[in-house]
Amino acid sequence: MQGRHTRFPAILAVASMVLFLTQGAVTVAQDAGDAAPLDEAIVPFALPESGPFNPEDIPIENQQAIADWFRSAHADAAAEAFRHWDADEAISPACATCHSGEGFRDWHGLDGSEAGIVEGPIDTGGVVDCGTCHNAGLAEVETVTFPSGLEHPVTGVEAACMTCHQGRTAGVDVEEAIAGMEVDSPSPELRFINPHYATAAATWLGGYGGAGYHYDGADYSGRFFHARPVSTCNSCHEPHTLEVAFEPCLTCHQEDSPEAIRIARQSYDGSGDTRAGISSDIRANAALLLQLIEDYAALVAGRPIVYDGTRYPYFFVDANGDDRADEGPDGLVAYDGWTPRLLRAAYNWKLVTSDPGNYAHNPPYVLELLHDSISDLAGPVGTEVGSLGILR
């Protein structure tokens, strides 16, 4: 059944939206009753009542928006984000909220069901369709609960963005997992805790949202407030193409791309280069942290580690030091030498690198998480933090 892997689900979503609009027109006409003559009532037809006609000549309201959405990642029915469950022929309730429009509506009770739960597996083949963000009931969603337990107030379509771009875990999950353990002793009870993907909303809310592991005694920047007009997801992202609108940035920033924008006069990565965008500092410190994670795993935990971003759970054993995951009877050997110190640093590294727009969403918070994680690992591996020249 190759058709399941095409864009037919997206085409059906568009057809459903047209049907929804025509049904609404019928309702309006019926509700009008005797107040409006029949010939003045809204005509519920998407096609002309008579021909001949050419399909391309038929005006369709929001045609450009539909075309933009159809070519976006939200409508890509062939993407792993929507095909991962093909073999099961159903999306698990835990995943369906963000990986299908039907699951999203079920979670928020927009389909008439109880809110806060997806009541059963959702059929595969769906995408983030028009009804995900344009459902009238979305206006009644007033808060979105984050993995940290924070209930954040939302308005309108912001509920859709923050429901699905908050990650699946938070720093409190790491705290709970390592509670009472010796900080540098490997524990067979520990497993990697994955923040999940595209965690833009979690990054944006910073310390207020509690997405990262927060080290004792440290303060963390809260929600990143930009210039006054930039206060929502749609302030920067075109809602249908999902592309970043760079032109508004040029009002204050004279650069040629968002990545080239720098918001600080100091160097955070020890390079002394304040000409490059702040994204450069973040990348450098993230690379440094990953190196320290590898050094600590080998020198302190006694179990060399390697990262492979293409395979879950991403961190694997590399006992022979060839920079490749070791193979076992059952496949790649997941890393099993976690100590509390190593786990919390690896969690923060994955959280930061899971948001490709971290330099715009909340650079102060991201740099703080990286700095504190680097500082925590440096001592045990014999590195003097001051010699690195990094700043918080």
pLDDT (tens digit, 9 = 90+) per residue, 336-370?
Answer: 999 999 999 999 999 999 999 999 999 999 999 99
% of the chain beyond a pLDDT of 90:
77
pLDDT tens-digit readout, 73-125: 999 999 999 999 999 999 999 999 999 999 999 999 999 999 999 988 999 99
pLDDT at res. 41: 60
Write out the DSSP string of 1-59.
-GGGGSSHHHHHHHHHHHHHHHHHHHHHHHHHGGGS-GGGSPP--SS-SS----GGGS-
Q: Is the dihedral of CA 272, 278, 284, 285 positive or negative?
A: positive
Residue 207 pLDDT > 80? yes
pLDDT at res. 40: 56
pLDDT tens-digit readout, 148-196: 999 999 998 999 999 999 999 999 999 999 999 999 999 999 999 999 9
pLDDT-derived band at 44 (thresholds 50, 70, 90) equals low
Residue type, 2: Q
Q: Choose among 225, 233, 76: nearest CA to 160.
A: 233
Report whether 352 contacts 364 (CB < 8 A): no
Report whether 198 contacts 179 (CB < 8 A): no
Mean pLDDT of the chain: 89
pLDDT-derived band at 22 (thresholds 50, 70, 90) equals very low
Write out the DSSP string of 149-193.
S-EEE--TTHHHHHHHSS-S--HHHHHHHHTTS-TTS--TT--PP
pLDDT at res. 37: 52
Rounded-to-integer distance, Cα 112 and Cα 379, Å:
55
Rounded-to-integer distance, Cα 78 and Cα 127, Å:
10
Neighbouring-strand partners of residue 244: 237
pTM for this entry: 0.85
